[in-house]
Chains A and B, each alone.
Chain A
Amino acid sequence: MRKRKMSAWRSAAAICALLLTAAGCGSGNDDDKGGHAPDKLGKGEGKVNIIAWAGYAEDGSNDPKVDWVHPFEKKTGCQVNTKTAGTSDEMVSLMKTGQYDTVSASGDATLRLIASGDAAPVNTKLVPNYRDIFPALKQQPFNSKDGRMYGIPHGRGANLLMYRTDKVTSAPDSWRAVFDDAARYDGHVTAYDSPIYIADAALYLMQAKPSLGIKNPYALDQKQLDAAVALLKKQHKAVGEYWSDYQKEITAFKGGDSVIGTTWQVIANLTKAEKAPVKAVLPKEGATGWSDTWMVSAKAEHPNCAYKWLDWIVSPKVNAQVAEYFGEAPSNRKACAETSAPDHCAIFHADDEKYFQRVHFWTTPIKQCLDGRKDADCTDYAQWTRAWTEVKG
């Protein structure tokens, strides 16, 4: 019996060794990180693999009226395979598999993809529609490096403060309502379930506690992070639930399980359409927000089709369709003329740069302080993730 066990262990060890060798072999490429942007495009490869947020690459299979994938396939001959990702972290890990050509990454993923060399710089000359992208979205810290664009901006939105008008009687105009005053709505506060939400607390502390010296909610040194975490832990006591998808947030506000918390404009609109008494505001401190970028994988097997997709998805008509379906501000200024609701761009503040100046777009926190401080070490995303686990307890 004992002998047999031993041999079983030995064979298991042999298999492990084998697998390890295989693993070692797979990682042996140390070539130039990030790859190169092509100078010109060739013929389409007949296929493109996409990672997208739900609603970004609709092929009519969910709603026959919502389809911009089939027209693309017809026009370019590139067959589209879409993988829907639920979170930015999932997008990063999917991109690491090297099976995908392009991704609609948010700012909390883009820098990581650039740094790890998973995303390649993009030659914007090969994307004719890039011309019409709002200038404020070009060459941003979350989508470029050393003056080179690493993707094509897709759309943007702010993380707003939503509340039920029947339960929250004095209209809040500050994030104070979900932080220092959270206890008032004990058990009914909601917050976005992601480490990046720490930036919301930091944003509030920027003004509530100037002594901390926070200049950029994504550049926190250890002391500043600790302050944000302490604030979030206090908020945790009053939180009913954390949300990460539309449906959860809508049902919670509709049923009254949540009465105040962060939201996206589109969720506010959908909840209102469900006849729930809610209102969404951009508080006086400003807000965090997202700006998505279509990036190309450094290991893209179908780069030509990927570029064709980039140009297609930000073309005025398609950009308008996506923006309306998903509920965000389009990135192409010509898209505003193409929306079926004439006031879409007004509602989502698409061309309102004053509005977006108050929005701090998601950016991956890194060791090197993003606010330009040289004398301090900032906390990185891994530390934020751990802190977020702590906050939720």
Chain B
Amino acid sequence: MPAAPTPGSRLRLTALLAPPLLWLTLAYLGSLAVLLLSAFWATDSFTSDVVRTWNTDNFHELLTTPVYRTIALRTLSIAAAVTVVDALLALPMAFFMARVAGRGWRRPLLVAVLTPLWAGYLVKAYAWRVMLGENGVVGAALAPFGLHGPGYGTTAVVIVLAYLWLPYMILPVYAALERLPERMLEASADLGAGTWRTLRSVVLPAVRPAVLAGSVFTFSLSLGDYLTVQIVGGKTQLLGNVIASQVTLDLPMAAALSAVPVVLIVCYLAAVRRAGALDSL
């Protein structure tokens, strides 16, 4: 357990905390503050120069234009869908890897899950573009069953994002499952619990923070993505695209739009922090 504060330890604490917090505040929070402040500025519509007159027009427009609401909701549901898909895939996979597969298999399996992280985000997205196309691999594989590929669109975006972030979900869940002491499972069995009961009452509570931790990645990375959408989204546009399209033209508006994912994610983080997810990241 952490030591109680003494004068010496307080000095050490300051020395430990100062560099990372200074960095974070100066480089990051300061930047965010600059950005969010500029949301209250205006843009000369012709020259795209920022005009530093304080106003709330951007937020007014953001809240009153229906299309922004539609886009925000669409983005939110895609991020949620990606998170659910990843959790549903990661739980059985991580369980198998951590508790079922033989000891000798665990490491190779983990390597197999981690390797794609190095393969390059854009390249993977483009590979999926080829797979999901009209004459792509997916279509060809489904054709014998009389099915049709999803084509480019929101479904494709969910598939590809879930694919891209899957390792980020598997890793924490795997770590949590591996840490689970065998004794606990045995105790549960000794108390007469069946497999399902043990799963529900012992395993699930133990992996819940890990799933939430993974969801921080799947949810927030999906919420801000705009490149994958460009590649496989067909005509779909998400918050990230709208921000990206405004950035160069109207930075104050882009800043106001950025406030939406920032607020959503800060709320989300605050919620999962209560569940202890940030400790099991």
List chain A positions with a Cβ less than 8 A from chain B. Answer: 11-12, 15-16, 19-20, 23-24, 27, 87, 89-90, 92-93, 96, 112, 115-117, 187, 236, 239-242, 244, 247-248, 251-252, 255-257, 364, 366-367, 380-383, 385-386, 388-390, 392-393
Q: Contacts A389-B237, A393-B70; is A19 near B151 (CB within 8 Å)?
A: no
Instruction: Kindly list chain B residues whose C-beta atoms are within 8 Å of the C-beta of A236.
Output: 235
Q: How many residues on chain B are close to A (CB under 8 Å)?
A: 41
Q: Are A112 and B151 in contact (CB under 8 A)?
A: no
Q: Which A residue's beta carbon lies closest to that of B33?
A: A16
Is B52 in the interface zone, CB < 8 Å from A?
A: yes
Interface string of B18-34 (1 = CB under 8 A from A): 00000001100110011
Q: Are B235 and A242 in contact (CB under 8 A)?
A: yes
Q: How far is the CB of A274 from chain B (nearest CB, A)?
A: 13
Instruction: Kindly list chain B residues whose C-beta atoms are within 8 Å of the C-beta of A367.
Output: 45-46
Q: How far is the CB of B29 from chain A (nearest CB, A)?
A: 7
Q: How far is the CA of A343 from the CA of B126 in the complex (A)?
A: 34
Q: Are B130 and A23 in contact (CB under 8 A)?
A: no
Q: How far is the CA of A393 from the CA of B235 in the complex (A)?
A: 9
State which residues 37-56 of B face A: CB under 8 Å: 37, 43-49, 52
With beta carbons under 8 angstroms apart, the residue of A90, A115, A244, A255 that contacts B47 is A115
Q: How far is the CA of A87 from the CA of B245 in the complex (A)?
A: 10
Q: Which B residue's beta carbon lies closest to that of A248?
A: B231
With beta carbons under 8 angstroms apart, the residue of B152, B233, B249 that contacts A257 is B152
30 A-B residue pairings within 8 Å (CB atoms): A15-B29, A16-B30, A23-B34, A89-B247, A90-B248, A92-B249, A93-B249, A117-B47, A187-B151, A240-B151, A240-B235, A241-B234, A241-B235, A242-B235, A248-B230, A251-B130, A256-B134, A257-B152, A381-B45, A382-B43, A385-B245, A385-B249, A385-B250, A386-B65, A389-B67, A389-B71, A389-B237, A389-B245, A392-B235, A392-B237
Q: Are B234 and A112 in contact (CB under 8 A)?
A: no
Q: How far is the CA of A332 from the CA of B247 in the complex (A)?
A: 35
Q: Which A residue's beta carbon lies closest to that of B31?
A: A19
Given contacts A20-B37, A251-B130, 14 further A-B contacts (CB under 8 A): A16-B34, A19-B33, A23-B52, A24-B52, A96-B49, A187-B151, A252-B133, A256-B133, A256-B135, A257-B134, A382-B43, A382-B45, A385-B246, A389-B245
Q: How far is the CB of A97 from chain B (nearest CB, A)?
A: 11
Is B136 in the interface zone, CB < 8 Å from A?
A: yes
Instruction: Kindly list chain B residues whose C-beta atoms are within 8 Å of the C-beta of A89.
Output: 245, 247-249
With beta carbons under 8 angstroms apart, the residue of A93, A244, A257 that contacts B248 is A93
Instruction: Kindly list chain B residues whose C-beta atoms are within 8 Å of the C-beta of A16.
Output: 30, 33-34, 37
Is B242 in the interface zone, CB < 8 Å from A?
A: yes
Q: How far is the CA of A390 from the CA of B242 in the complex (A)?
A: 10
Q: How far is the CB of B172 from chain A (nearest CB, A)?
A: 29
With beta carbons under 8 angstroms apart, the residue of B126, B231, B242, B248 that contacts A389 is B242
Q: How far is the CA of A112 from the CA of B245 in the complex (A)?
A: 16
Instruction: Kindly list chain B residues whose C-beta atoms are within 8 Å of the C-beta of A247.
Output: 126
Instruction: Kindly list chain A residues whose C-beta atoms are within 8 Å of the C-beta of B47.
Output: 112, 115-117
Instruction: Kindly list chain B residues whose C-beta atoms are within 8 Å of the C-beta of A390.
Output: 67
Instruction: Kindly list chain A residues whose C-beta atoms are within 8 Å of the C-beta of B235.
Output: 236, 239-242, 392
Q: Which B residue's beta carbon lies closest to that of A242?
A: B235
Q: Contacts A385-B245, A392-B235; is A244 near B230 (CB within 8 Å)?
A: yes
Q: How far is the CA of A194 from the CA of B47 in the complex (A)?
A: 18
List chain B positions with a Cβ less than 8 A from chain A. Answer: 25-26, 29-30, 33-34, 37, 43-49, 52, 65, 67, 70-71, 126, 129-130, 133-136, 151-152, 230-231, 233-235, 237, 242, 245-250
Q: How far is the CA of A380 from the CA of B45 in the complex (A)?
A: 7
Q: How far is the CA of A15 from the CA of B30 in the complex (A)?
A: 7
Q: Are B46 and A12 in contact (CB under 8 A)?
A: no
6 closest residue pairs by CB, A with B:
A116-B47, A382-B45, A89-B248, A93-B248, A255-B133, A241-B234
Q: Contacts A20-B37, A93-B248, A390-B67; is A240 near B234 (CB within 8 Å)?
A: yes
- Find the residue from B45, B48, B136, B250 having the highest chain A CB count within 10 A: B48
Q: Contacts A15-B25, A255-B135; is A241 near B45 (CB within 8 Å)?
A: no
Q: Which B residue's beta carbon lies closest to that of A364?
A: B46
With beta carbons under 8 angstroms apart, the residue of A239, A251, A364 that contacts B129 is A251
Instruction: Kindly list chain B residues whose C-beta atoms are within 8 Å of the C-beta of A92.
Output: 48, 248-249
Q: Are B45 and A383 in contact (CB under 8 A)?
A: yes
Instruction: Kindly list chain B residues whose C-beta atoms are within 8 Å of the C-beta of A388.
Output: 245
With beta carbons under 8 angstroms apart, the residue of B46, B152, B231 that contacts A112 is B46
With beta carbons under 8 angstroms apart, the residue of B52, B134, B151, B249 that contacts A382 is B249
Q: How far is the CA of A96 from the CA of B248 in the complex (A)?
A: 10
Q: How far is the CA of A24 from the CA of B47 in the complex (A)?
A: 19
Q: Are B48 and A12 in contact (CB under 8 A)?
A: no
Instruction: Kindly list chain A residues whose C-beta atoms are within 8 Å of the C-beta of B130.
Output: 251
Q: Are A12 and B25 in contact (CB under 8 A)?
A: yes
Q: Which A residue's beta carbon lies closest to that of B152?
A: A241
Q: Are A257 and B33 in contact (CB under 8 A)?
A: no
Instruction: Kindly list chain B residues whose C-beta atoms are within 8 Å of the C-beta of A93.
Output: 48, 247-249
Q: Which B residue's beta carbon lies closest to that of A247?
A: B126
Q: How far is the CA of A389 from the CA of B129 in the complex (A)?
A: 24
Instruction: Kindly list chain A residues whose C-beta atoms are within 8 Å of the C-beta of B71.
Output: 389, 393
Q: Are B248 and A382 in contact (CB under 8 A)?
A: no
Instruction: Kindly list chain A residues whose C-beta atoms are within 8 Å of the C-beta of B134.
Output: 255-257
Instruction: Kindly list chain A residues whose C-beta atoms are within 8 Å of the C-beta of B67.
Output: 389-390, 393
Q: Are B48 and A112 in contact (CB under 8 A)?
A: yes
- Find the residue from B47, B49, B234 having the highest chain A CB count within 10 A: B47
Instruction: Kindly list chain A residues whose C-beta atoms are within 8 Å of the C-beta of B234.
Output: 239-241
Q: How far is the CB of B32 from chain A (nearest CB, A)?
A: 10
Q: How far is the CA of A113 from the CA of B130 in the complex (A)?
A: 38
Q: Are B237 and A87 in contact (CB under 8 A)?
A: no
Instruction: Kindly list chain B residues whose C-beta atoms are within 8 Å of the C-beta of A251.
Output: 129-130, 133
Q: How far is the CB of B59 from chain A (nearest CB, A)?
A: 15
